[in-house]
Amino acid sequence: MKNKILLTGGGSAGHITVNLALIPLLIKSGWEVVYIGSFAGIERELIADFPEVTYHAIPTGKLRRYFDRQNFSDVFRVLKGIIEAYKIIRQEQPKIVFSKGGFVSVPVVLSSRLNNIPVITHESDLTPGLANRINMNFAQKICTTFPETLQHLPKDKGEFIGAVVRPELKQGDRERGRTFCQFDSTKPVILVTGGSLGSVYINQTVRSLLNKLLQEFQIIHICGKGNIDRSLEHQGYKQFEYVANELADLMCLADLVISRAGSNFLFEFLALKKPMILIPLPKKSSRGDQIDNAKVFERQGYAEVILEENLTEDSLLNTIHTVYSNRENYIKKMDNWNSDRSLAKLFDLITNSVS
């Protein structure tokens, strides 16, 4: 009889990428994999690429740190999610649950505890988010990407494993990416991404600079769902809402990256040695975790940071020229970083927890 694991996490790509790295390894090792996510989240679309995985959807509500009328209705969605997750776990009877976080994970982790199923969680950012701060009370182990995160966790639960980077991202091909984008080889390439949900601020600023940038660069712009501007059709400028199968090739093609500062994206760019310009989510619309992440990368010499309140056409254009001109210095500082063991360490931790 196969061991069965239940995975959860969603809402944004950052709460799914570690699961995407784990799934092929689990399946290859003979595990049966079940996933609980939301009805309309990006996780449902991404997990559909794995026909071996059974996907269950549950209601989910957003956990806010501020007053909003939707807080009242979301309480009932969370409660309904707990009931549905409890039924699914009773039905599936997994040996262990692995949670990557996000709002959908909270009902799953709570229901796992009610069913006496052991839970391992993973925190990508420097400090735990709200969902993981709730989940850690019910988890046996909390895996971290940054060693500094351990100081925010119960001493008997924290486990530093490093950044989990999907192995397939290292298999990208520059020429395939160039062909996919219909780019030529005469100009360097900038990859722009505001995260899986996109960023209005980054999108607007980059687009306002298109005429200047396209004189020197070609641009891959992953702008988020519903954010493609069809009026901007230029040679050397390719827009995508989201990229899945071709992402490794596009990342390989990039000479520098402009990005938000979600931890998973940062470490993927680091693993591929891509110089970065980071524009973290501001504290007015987040808990400041991306600012913390970005500052760590800046101190290590991997990136330059522009705070969103300082983002202008001039500041972005000047930083692009600075980073591109000094790209070899950034790459040299990235040379000693290696993440190859992190996925194996996480897999071993899961395996040993059920043996």
Structure tokens at 313: 């056409």
What integer pLDDT is reported at residue 337 of this predicted model? Answer: 82
Give the rounded distance of the alpha carbon of 177 from its chain centre. 21
Q: Is residue 335 over pLDDT 50?
A: yes
What integer pLDDT is reported at residue 61 of this predicted model? Answer: 63
Q: What are phi and psi of 329, to 5 degrees?
A: -65, -40
For residues 154 and 137, give the distance between their C-alpha atoms in angstroms, rounded to a whole number: 9
Q: Is residue 64 over pLDDT 50?
A: no
Which residues have C-beta within 8 Å of that of residue 247, sequence separation ≥ 6?
169, 172
What is the pairing mode between strands 276-278 and 303-305? parallel
Give the pLDDT band (50/70/90) at residue 40.
confident
Average pLDDT over every residue of 288-303: 94
Q: Is residue 208 over pLDDT 60?
A: yes
Which residues have C-beta within 8 Å of that of residue 48, sequence separation ≥ 6?
55
Q: CA Rg, the chain, in Å? A: 20
What integer pLDDT is reported at residue 336 of this predicted model? Answer: 78
Structure tokens at 218: 């070609």
Quickly name the fold that domain 4-164+340-354 has. Answer: Rossmann fold (3.40.50)
Average pLDDT over every residue of 117-136: 92
What integer pLDDT is reported at residue 70 of this predicted model? Answer: 57
Q: Is residue 106 over pLDDT 80?
A: yes
Q: Among 244, 192, 246, 249, which residue's Cα sits nearest to residue 218?
A: 192
Average pLDDT over every residue of 310-323: 97
What integer pLDDT is reported at residue 119 of this predicted model? Answer: 97
Q: Among 223, 11, 28, which residue's Cα sits nearest to residue 108?
A: 11
- DSSP assignment of 206-241 equals HHHTHHHHTTT-EEEEE--TT---TT--BTTEEEES
Average pLDDT over every residue of 60-72: 56
Beta bridge partners of 198: none
Quickly name the fold that domain 168-334 has. Answer: Rossmann fold (3.40.50)
For residues 186 and 65, give the distance between their C-alpha atoms in angstroms, rounded to a whole number: 48
Give the pLDDT band (50/70/90) at residue 120.
very high
Write down the pTM of the prediction: 0.84
Please write the tens of the pLDDT for every residue from 165-176.
888 999 999 999
Over pLDDT 90: what percentage of the chain?
Answer: 75
Same fold, 4-164+340-354 and 168-334: yes
Please write the tens of the pLDDT for every residue from 214-243.
999 999 999 988 899 999 989 999 999 989
Q: Is residue 284 over pLDDT 90?
A: no
Give the rounded distance of the alpha carbon of 240 from its chain centre. 17
Q: Is residue 69 over pLDDT 70?
A: no
Q: Is residue 245 over pLDDT 60?
A: yes
Give the pLDDT band (50/70/90) at residue 75.
confident
- Helix (H, G, I), strand (E, B), or coil: what is residue 98? strand
Structure tokens at 328: 């070899």
Whether the CB-CB separation of 261 and 294 falls below 8 Å is answered with yes
- Indicate the domain borders of the chain: 4-164+340-354, 168-334
For residues 297 and 107, give the distance between their C-alpha atoms in angstroms, rounded to a whole number: 33
